[in-house]
Amino acid sequence: MKKSALQKARASYQPKLPIVLTGPVKAVAGKPTQSVANQTEINELFPCTYGLPEIKFEKNTAPTAGKPVNVGVILSGGQAPGGHNVISGLFDGIKKIHRDSRLFGFIMGPGGLVDHKYIELTAPIINEYRNTGGFDIIGSGRTKLETKEQFDKGLEIIRELGINALVIIGGDDSNTNAAVLAEYYKANNTGVQVLGCPKTIDGDLKNDLIETSFGFDTATKVYSEMIGNIQRDCNSAKKYWHFIKLMGRSASHIALECALQTQPNICIISEEVEAKNLTLQQVVDQIAEVVAARAAEGNNFGTVLIPEGLIEFIPAVKALIAELNDLLAAKAEEFAAVAADKQREFIISNLSPENAATYESLPHGVARQLSLDRDPHGNVQVSLIETEKLLSEMVGKRLAAMKAEGNYKGKFSPLHHFFGYEGRCADPSNFDADYCYALGFNAACLINSGVTGYMSSVRNLVKPAVQWIAGGIPITMMMNMERRHGEMKPVIQKALVRLDGAPFKKFAAQRKDWAYNTCYVYPGPIQYFGPAEVCDQPSLTLQYEHKGK
Amino acid sequence: MKKSALQKARASYQPKLPIVLTGPVKAVAGKPTQSVANQTEINELFPCTYGLPEIKFEKNTAPTAGKPVNVGVILSGGQAPGGHNVISGLFDGIKKIHRDSRLFGFIMGPGGLVDHKYIELTAPIINEYRNTGGFDIIGSGRTKLETKEQFDKGLEIIRELGINALVIIGGDDSNTNAAVLAEYYKANNTGVQVLGCPKTIDGDLKNDLIETSFGFDTATKVYSEMIGNIQRDCNSAKKYWHFIKLMGRSASHIALECALQTQPNICIISEEVEAKNLTLQQVVDQIAEVVAARAAEGNNFGTVLIPEGLIEFIPAVKALIAELNDLLAAKAEEFAAVAADKQREFIISNLSPENAATYESLPHGVARQLSLDRDPHGNVQVSLIETEKLLSEMVGKRLAAMKAEGNYKGKFSPLHHFFGYEGRCADPSNFDADYCYALGFNAACLINSGVTGYMSSVRNLVKPAVQWIAGGIPITMMMNMERRHGEMKPVIQKALVRLDGAPFKKFAAQRKDWAYNTCYVYPGPIQYFGPAEVCDQPSLTLQYEHKGK
């Protein structure tokens, strides 16, 4: 692997650890826990791992000698900056327990466990990947560990390698699977521990004890660098409106954090759109109103941040999609026989009046896409919709109408961007490098303390790393029952943007100023070697949430 | 203006100057120069500013006291990182000549000179913008200074403000205009000096004495950061082919530099496509061949870098567009009367067989776009074509055919990106911060030495800044005659990628390895505070060109 100059320089960075983890620790158990909702159901589903206590590590003044442990590690789901540091922290952690401990990495995600594909992660390999972005050390995958067959197949290789504990690095779904696996291995007295690590750039896996998922900090900083650069361009040329879509389908944390960092003219928060029951046209009208107001001041430029999942949060669009799915399933044959130029009419005449109106309000191309491109289950493929283009097209139409009414004078030239893949594998910020290393090292301590069904928890994150608090929380504590594919399932509750939370309130208090005036902030690229105020700041979301407590 | 932490920390950076510019200088004239081609015509068009000598600054051991100068500065054309440092270098330079010197910035580009829109750039304003990206200090614009009326209108405000010299910061076209303006003001004995500064992220304004245009270094580093991040993602998930279009319509320097920095699987160089007279289908086939070969090894992922201007370099497409323009102009009415579903047929039957074949090879959407979306002059709008999607669509089609023939087994999932606006206003790298500051400071020295029609020249750029050589070169030296809008015009010759140049040869020697193996390099974000090997490296293009000499 040919390394860049930065990679070489970063290789020697020693991530900071919470002070407590720098010496021998003992696990101090707190009170028994409850799941966030549906306590009875979750308890029934997790008889062996429900109600466990929170754990906090404290200094151990009378440590006993450690025994070697063999650990398997899995990267699950979408990439997030810092994954390699979780693994190197885990490696250093188990080596500290005993130098004969061994680490096995399962290849290309959870599928590697089932298919018995693995490599042993030795010091030379680990050292190649310290403080780097990406999941390429062992690859990642999206196989869901859900069935007894998978669990038993996994147990075979676990036995073969003498593995004592499995660490699954993943988002809410992967950690849900980790909890199910932990329960299964415990119920069957396998002695195999299963632990989770909170990963996702989306930032929607968090609660009081998991203050943030790793990767969110770095990814939002990369996107904010790009947005800032675009805003500086926008404010120099003064002739384009940039519609910037940001990854994050379920929650708008990424868009909100980027807005706090860069102060764009407009940022849409899906959770607010849903709470206010806005139609797509109302979202469009709000944007058009800002465009017109800025144009009146001679400013025919601006920026709009759009969360990737917006369209699925708009109640009217959600209702339309549900009816479309039903309609196209029920009248599949009839629809297939309709001539191409009559399909639009057919759909409109068969929809309820409300949904027909929503359908008609969409640009023709998008409407056609909704009725034609369906997934193997026959469902409309919402993710194919280029929301940034859909919005700018509808804004353009609205502005044309306003111009005709005499309510808008100006030029509207939109440009489009989508940032996602640019940030998922960036080199981790100092924050993520430290946080991930601590999460991994802490997971080793959890293994050593013999628990299972826990998530590695490192908190107090707005403080310097030495003051961070390390421990574990039972995964079942984060669960509730939700409908998935028509069935009620135990899952980790997603943390959406709270409209009564400090980050959103901070944004809401300033956004009018940002909309009409030009208040752009230009964060620039992530720095690793400069002053602490440049290099070591956690996300604004984390900072405001902390202050809001 | 609310500043980011990085902006605050960077404000105090003192750009490095060539040692010679740190004290009093004298202009040492070299030999008289000739234009690169069409010497007779250029000489006739520039009787007052043709054949001037190169100038090199040397230490002046017997300096005389300077007199105050009033200078006007203009930012012209697309943004490039470092523009603010040219202005701050110019400011510091004229203040060093005499503390009563004044700097006026014309607003929103050359149009500000004609429309008499300006602000005085005082120390507090300049200090707000040191080492920042963007052109927002005075804005930029694309008005071309070409007519006598514009020159005379400009002279009015020049006289009103007592301006002695005008500095135009721009690309090849803007510097061509600077030369014409210099000639006009000299021919009319106005005493007003006009000087140029070489700006463009495209990197196509260079020669032996202008080693690089400013902004290229930073912009390519930002794009390479993004490409590296995408490649790390690509190599972690192992399931997507990323088609990445990069800004730069006329030349492929940006794509080539990014390829040298990141080692993608494929990078297309427009100049090579043209030189080899490749058809679009041949370009597509070459990509498909690499996709298939990688798939055979189980690697259904990769990256393709595409220069924005590719399509205009493909001889067959160029010929098609030329004929389409003629055809649609000649048969405008007839074509307008053709029913939408018969238009394709109409065009194919009216084109020559070669061009009809090219037209038929294009995806239908692109073909339709070519015949429908035309600019106000009736010309096909090539820039609207999303080349990255066009290529991936055609590659997909080719792979389907190869699969049918049994020559391809694999999954092809393309994703698309276009990077341009993300890099034009980035915070300048140390190289661009220093280079730009030196270019501006050096322009002040050129003003002080009384010359006109010169471009600020700072060279020896692969060496540390103290060893840089400062001087000026007559703009006419860079000119030749080219057809523009049907007329022969004197213009600065664009520097395209040379297939016999060291950077391309370096790329060509390695690309086969990069294609079939996975040799990605991950440069990461621009650093400002770290070790010199991370923070202070000029572009690889510059380094290889230097070594190649």
Q: Please spell the DSSP secondary structure of B158-216, one letter per residue.
A: HHHTT--EEEEEE-HHHHHHHHHHHHHHHHTT---EEEEEEB-TT--S--SS----BTH
Is A9 within 8 Å of B533 when comparing Cβ atoms? yes
Q: How far apart (Å, rounded) are the C-alpha atoms in residues A500 and A215?
A: 24
Query: Tens of pLDDT along B44-58?
Result: 999 999 999 999 999
Distance CA B18, CA B437 (A): 10
Strands (E) located in B211-324: 241-246, 266-267, 302-307
Residues of B in contact with A222 (CB under 8 A): 229, 525
Can you tell me the mean pLDDT for A315-329? 89
Cα separation of A261 and A245, whole Å? Answer: 16
ipTM surpassing 0.90 = yes
Mean pLDDT of A430-456: 98
Residue B271 has pLDDT above 80, yes or no: yes
Rounded to 5 degrees, φ, ψ at B6 are -65, -45
Asked if A521 lies within 8 A of B233 by C-beta distance, the reply is no
- CA of A523, closest CA in chain B: separation in Å? 5
Provide the residue count of chain B. 549
| DSSP state, residue B406 | T
pLDDT tens digits along A470-529: 999 999 999 999 988 778 999 999 999 999 999 999 999 999 999 999 999 999 999 999
CA distance B80 to chain A (A): 9
Tell me whether residues A524 and B6 touch, CB distance under 8 A: yes
Nearest CA in chain B to A135: B236
Mutate to test the interface with B, among A8, A117, A136 (most CBs of B within 10 A): A136
Q: At what angle do helices A315-330 and A353-361 cross, to 10 degrees?
A: 110
What's the pLDDT score for residue A302? 98
Tell me: pLDDT of B373 over 80.
no
Pick the range with the lowest mean pLDDT from A420-424, A439-443, B518-522, B545-549.
Answer: B545-549
pLDDT at residue B367 tops 90: no
Question: A486: how many CB neighbours lie within 10 A of its CB?
Answer: 5
Q: Is B391 exposed, middle or buried (0-12, 13-18, 19+ CB in 10 A)?
A: buried
Report phi then psi at B523, rounded to 5: -70, -30
Torsions phi, psi for B26 (to 5 deg): -125, 145
> Which token pair is B17?
């100057």
| Res. A194 pLDDT band, cuts 50 70 90 | very high
- Cβ distance of A237 and B79 shorter than 8 Å: yes
Q: Which of A311, A272, A250, A269 has its CA nearest to residue A491?
A: A250
Q: Are B81 and B133 in contact, with CB atoms under 8 Å apart?
A: yes
Choosing from B172, B202, B427, B434, the catalytic residue is B202
Per-residue confidence (pLDDT) for residue A380, from 0 to 100: 72
pLDDT tens-place string over residues A397-419: 999 999 999 999 999 999 999 99
Closest residue of A to B262, CA-based? A4
CB B2 to CB A521 under 8 A? Answer: yes
Kind of pairing between the strands at A53-59 and A469-474: antiparallel
Dist. CA B90–CA B224, nearest whole Å = 30
H/E element, A414: strand A414-419
pLDDT grade for A373, boundaries at 50, 70 and 90? low
State chain B's maximal CA–CA distance in angstroms: 81
- Select from A542, A540, A549 the least CA-distant residue to A510: A540
pLDDT of residue B285: 97
C-alpha A198: how far from chain center = 10
Task: State the pLDDT at residue A490.
Answer: 95
Contacts of B10 in chain A (CB under 8 A): 524
Nearest to B287, CA basis, from B395, B372, B362: B395
- Closest residue by Cα to residue A290 from A266, A255, A269, A270: A266
Estimate to the nearest angstrom the gap between the alpha carbon of B12 and the chain centroid: 28
Residues of chain B found within 8 Å of residue A233, distances taken between Cβ atoms: 79, 134, 421, 424-425
Q: Which helix (H) or strand (E) holds B421?
A: helix B421-424
Please report residues of B whose CB lies closer than 8 A to that of A2: 263, 519, 521
pLDDT at A548 over 90: no
B428: nearest CA in chain A?
A524
Q: Are the Cβ atoms of A521 and B415 closer than 8 angstroms?
A: no
CA distance B368 to B381: 12
Rounded Cα gap, residues A130 and A437, in angstroms:
9
What mean pLDDT is predicted for residues B164-190?
Answer: 97
Give the closest-approach CA distance of A276 to chain B in angstroms: 31
| B134, B421, B526: residue with CB nearest A415 | B421
The pLDDT tens digits for B403-436 are: 999 999 999 999 999 999 999 999 999 999 999 9
Q: Best of A142, A229, A528 to disrupt the B interface by mutation (most B CBs within 10 Å)?
A: A229
- pTM score, whole prediction: 0.96
Of A109, A264, A129, the closest CA to residue A173 belongs to A109
Cβ atoms of A475 and A51 closer than 8 Å: no
The predicted structure's pLDDT at residue B127: 97
Q: How far apart are CA A533 and CA B270, in angstroms?
A: 44
Residue of A228, A254, A353, A230 lying closest to A307 (CA atoms): A254
The string of DSSP letters for A127-155 reads: HHHTT--SSTTT--B-----SHHHHHHHH
- Mutation for testing the A interface, residue in B421, B520, B539 having most A CBs under 10 Å: B421
B517: nearest CA in chain A? A1
Q: Kindly tell me if the per-residue pLDDT of A320 is higher than 70.
A: yes
For residue B140, which of B182, B167, B105 has the smallest C-alpha distance?
A: B105
Q: Are strands B479-484 and B487-492 parallel, antiparallel or unpaired?
A: antiparallel
Distances (CA, A) of A30 to A54, A59, A471, B409: 5, 16, 11, 55
**pLDDT in the model for residue A370:** 80
pLDDT tier at A376 (50, 70, 90 boundaries)? low
With cut-offs at 50, 70 and 90, classify the pLDDT of residue A36: very high
CB contact under 8 A, B422 and A229: yes
Distance CA A478, CA A327 (A): 37
**Structure confidence by residue, pLDDT tens digits, B102-153:** 999 999 999 999 999 999 999 999 999 999 999 999 999 999 999 999 999 9
- Rounded to whole angstroms, the Cα distance separating B455 from A534 reads 37
| Residue B489 to residue B473: CA distance in whole angstroms | 21
Residue in B128, B218, B221, B236 to test binding to A, most A beta-carbons within 10 Å: B236
Of B10, B134, B523, the CB nearest to A233: B134
Residue A197 bridge partners (DSSP):
A169
CA distance A209 to chain B (A): 29
Please report residues of B whose CB lies closer than 8 A to that of A219: none
Q: Which residues of A touch B237 (CB under 8 A)?
A: 78-79, 135, 139-140
Q: Is the pLDDT score of B316 beyond 80?
A: yes
**Residue A432's closest CA among A1, A12, A15, A140?**
A15
Residue of A nearest to B418 (CA): A417
Secondary-structure percent of chain A, ordered helix, strand, coil, rounded to 5: 45, 15, 35
Average pLDDT value for chain B = 95
State the catalytic residues of A: 202
pLDDT tens, position by position, A153-174:
999 999 999 999 999 999 999 9
